[in-house]
Amino acid sequence: MTRYARITGTGGYLPAEVKTNDDIAQTVDTSDEWIFERTGIRSRHIAAPDETASAMAEIASRQAMEAAGVGPEDIDLIILGTSTPDRIFPSTACLLQQRLGVRQGAAFDVQAACSGFIFALSIADQYVRTGTAKRALVVGSELNSRVVDWNDRATCILFGDGAGAVVLEAAEQPGILSTHIHSDGQFQDLLYLPNSDVGIDDERYIQMQGNEVFKVAVNTLGRIVDDTLAANGMDKSEVDWLVPHQANIRIIGATAKKLKLPMDRVVVTIENQGNTSSASIPLALNEAIRDGRIQRGQVVLMEAFGGGFAWGSALIRY
Ligand code: UT7
Contact 232, 315 (CB under 8 A): yes
Answer yes or no: is the C-beta of 154 below 6 A from any ligand 1 atom: yes
Q: How far is the CA of 154 from the centre of ligand 1 (A)?
A: 6
- Residue 27 domain boundaries: 4-171
**135-169: string of b/e by CB count within 10 Å (b at 16+)?**
bbbbbbbbbbbebbeeeebebbbbbbbbbbbbbbb
Answer yes or no: is the C-beta of 284 below 6 A from any ligand 1 atom: no
What are the pLDDT tens digits along the chain (318 aa)?
789 999 999 999 999 999 999 999 999 999 999 999 999 999 999 999 999 999 999 999 999 999 999 999 999 999 999 999 999 999 999 999 999 999 999 999 999 999 999 999 999 999 999 999 999 999 999 999 999 999 999 999 999 999 999 999 999 999 999 999 999 999 999 999 999 888 888 899 999 999 999 999 999 999 999 999 999 999 999 999 999 999 999 999 999 999 999 999 999 999 999 999 999 999 999 999 999 999 999 999 999 999 999 999 999 999
Amino acid identity, residue 188? Q
Q: Name the residue with the closest Cα to ligand 1, atom 47.
A: 30
The pLDDT value given to residue 196: 81
The pLDDT value given to residue 202: 87
Contact 232, 253 (CB under 8 A): no
Answer yes or no: is the C-beta of 247 below 6 A from any ligand 1 atom: yes
Looking at the structure, do residues 118 and 182 belong to the same domain, yes or no?
no
Answer yes or no: is the C-beta of 153 below 6 A from any ligand 1 atom: yes
Answer yes or no: is the C-beta of 250 below 6 A from any ligand 1 atom: no
Q: Which helix (H) or strand (E) holds 143?
A: strand 135-143
Looking at the structure, do residues 156 and 14 belong to the same domain, yes or no?
yes
Looking at the structure, do residues 185 and 143 belong to the same domain, yes or no?
no
**What angle (nearest 5°) sits at the alpha carbon of residue 288, between those of residues 53 and 216?**
70
Q: Name the residue with the closest Cα to ligand 1, atom 20.
A: 38
What CATH number does residue 261 fall under? 3.40.47.10
**304 CA: nearest ligand 1 atom:** 1
Find the catalytic residue in 21, 94, 114, 144.
114
Tell me which of 214, 245, 273, 281 to substitute to probe ligand 1's pocket, judged by most ligand atoms within 8 Å of the beta carbon.
214
213 CB-near residues (< 8 Å, 6+ apart): 190, 191
Q: Name the residue with the closest Cα to ligand 1, atom 5.
A: 247
Q: What are the beta bridge partners of residue 43? A: 20
Q: Name the residue with the closest Cα to ligand 1, atom 25.
A: 211
Find the catalytic residue in 94, 245, 248, 286.
245
The pLDDT value given to residue 261: 97
Looking at the structure, do residues 143 and 211 belong to the same domain, yes or no?
no
Q: How far is the CA of 38 from the centre of ligand 1 (A)?
A: 7
Q: How far is the CA of 209 from the centre of ligand 1 (A)?
A: 8
245 is catalytic: yes
The pLDDT value given to residue 238: 97
Looking at the structure, do residues 183 and 308 belong to the same domain, yes or no?
yes
Domain boundary among 171, 201, 224: 171
Answer yes or no: is the C-beta of 39 below 6 A from any ligand 1 atom: yes
Looking at the structure, do residues 160 and 12 belong to the same domain, yes or no?
yes
Looking at the structure, do residues 29 and 102 belong to the same domain, yes or no?
yes
Looking at the structure, do residues 163 and 181 belong to the same domain, yes or no?
no
The pLDDT value given to residue 269: 98
Answer yes or no: is the C-beta of 157 below 6 A from any ligand 1 atom: yes
Find the catalytic residue in 21, 248, 275, 286.
275
Domain boundary among 145, 171, 197: 171
Answer yes or no: is the C-beta of 276 below 6 A from any ligand 1 atom: no
The pLDDT value given to residue 1: 75
The domain total for the chain is: 2
Looking at the structure, do residues 135 and 194 belong to the same domain, yes or no?
no
Looking at the structure, do residues 285 and 299 belong to the same domain, yes or no?
yes
Looking at the structure, do residues 16 and 58 belong to the same domain, yes or no?
yes
CA distance 160 to 274: 5
Domain boundary among 140, 171, 202: 171
Calculate the alpha carbon distances from 127 to 30, 124, 264 in Å: 46, 5, 34
Answer yes or no: is the C-beta of 256 below 6 A from any ligand 1 atom: no
Looking at the structure, do residues 67 and 185 belong to the same domain, yes or no?
no
Contact 267, 285 (CB under 8 A): yes
